[in-house]
Amino acid sequence: MDFLIQLFTDPVAFWNSHTLLISQIGINSILASSMFVVLYSGQLSLAAPGFMAIGAYTAVLMDLYWHTPLALNIATGTAFAGVVGVAVGLPVLRLRGVFLAIATIGFIEALSLGVILNLPITGEGLGLKNPNADPLGGINIVLVSLAVVVFLLWRLTKGRLGYAWTAIRQDELAAQSQGIDVARYKLIAFVVSALLAGFAGGAESHLNFFVDPNEYGVPRTVQVLTFAVLGGSGNVLGPVVGALFLTTLPYVFQQAGDYIGVVSGAILIAVIIFRPQGIVGRGGFAFVRPRWWPRAQVRAPSTR
């Protein structure tokens, strides 16, 4: 409760004392947006942490060995993640649904367990020290880029690309028969998602003094998926709201103490049961109808 009281009574002190948390919310929001792009185009791709790892390691290694400026490091990391995104996306995007999800899990696990843990340059299992990190100063970069990302995605979803993605999500075959180049638009979504994740990884590495290889595994991808789905994956703002909600949950429910895992699990179930479409999305609360409660009258004949 103290957390919320401070937020409303003393925003300036709140901002100063929670800078790192706010930056982390920003990073998580960008990650959730990266997940949003693939979900919006109807693909359950879980590759985000892999691209994050690429962005983070590229940025930190450039800084360590070449002492290049931060902006260039993050940009290179992002671009590299995009290139890998094309290389991974081309073979993988033939798969649908759960198969795509598992193939992308295979990709991130092979990357983190097979490549990162075995290359001498990445510090193997020990991770990388990043002495030039700036945990508090990164907040402006993160928040500004989050605003830019959300705005760009909003414009994209309202344009030709967004309509193509919606069509593919709703019915791939119908979209194809309308002359939409399904493979191309899916690849675009995958690469945009990879670029966003790579950027988030690069920016996050600037906030921490240490790049931990264990950060980029399956638990992270499950977390990011939860942000996007719980927030609502039909609207650009949904993933941001989801990331905000879930990242601040442990602080809002500080009384739960050690039992925060139990509490957040219960809240997760409750939210998804009452709002299966996500927090941001059309429609009101979905209440579960007991068996004895009369069913609502359906006026129009249903096709399903």
Partner 1 sequence: MGQQILNAIFIGSIYALFAVGYTLVFGVLDILNLAHSAVFMLGAAVTYTLVVNHGQSFWLACVLAIVAAAFMGLVIEYICLRPLRRRRAPPIAALISTIGLALIIVAAIEQGRPGTLFAWLWVDGANPVTMPPGTFPNPTWHVAGLTLEGSKLAVVPVSIALMLVLGYVMRFTQVGRGLRAVAENPRAARLMGIDVDRLISLTLVISSALGGLAGILFGVALGGISPYIGRDSVEVRGLAVIVLGGMGSIPGAVLGGYLLGFIEVLAVVLLGSNVRAGVAFAALFLMLVLRPQGLFGAQLRERI
- Write out the residues near partner 1 by the rule CB under 8 A: 44, 91-92, 94-95, 98-99, 102-103, 105-107, 109-110, 112-115, 117-118, 218-219, 222, 225-226, 229-230, 258-262, 264-269, 272-273, 276-277, 286, 288-289
Count CA atoms within 13 Å of residue 116 on its CB side: 29
Cβ atoms within 10 Å, residue 134: 14
Taking the C-alpha atoms of residue 10 and residue 166, their distance in angstroms, rounded to an integer, is 42
Q: How far apart are CA 237 and CA 69, in angstroms?
A: 32
Q: Pick the closer one to partner 1 by CB: 139 or 241.
A: 241
Distance CA 31, CA 34 (A): 5
Shortest Å distance, C-beta 181 to partner 1: 21
Beta carbon nearer to partner 1, 94 or 129: 94
The distance of closest approach from Cβ of residue 233 to partner 1 in the complex, given in angstroms and rounded to an integer, is 8
Q: Report in angstroms how near the CB of residue 113 gets to partner 1 at its nearest.
A: 4
**Whole-number minimum distance, CB 161 to partner 1, in Å?**
22
- Minimum Å distance from CB 97 to partner 1? 8
Side chain identity, residue 288? V
CB of 147 to partner 1, least distance (A): 27
Q: Which C-beta is closer to partner 1: that of 96 or that of 160?
A: 96
Closer by beta carbon to partner 1, 147 or else 222: 222
Number of Cβ within 10 Å of residue 173's Cβ equals 9
Nearer to partner 1, 103 or 139 (CB): 103
Query: Quick one: 45 or 145, whose CB is closer to partner 1?
Result: 45
Quick count: other Cβ atoms within 10 Å of Cβ 254? 12
Cα–Cα distance, 33 to 257 (Å, whole number): 30
Under 8 Å between Cβ of 224 and 32: yes
Cα angle 38, 249, 15; round to 5: 95
For CA atoms 144, 145, 146, 147, the dihedral sign is: positive
Q: Three-class SS of residue 292?
A: coil
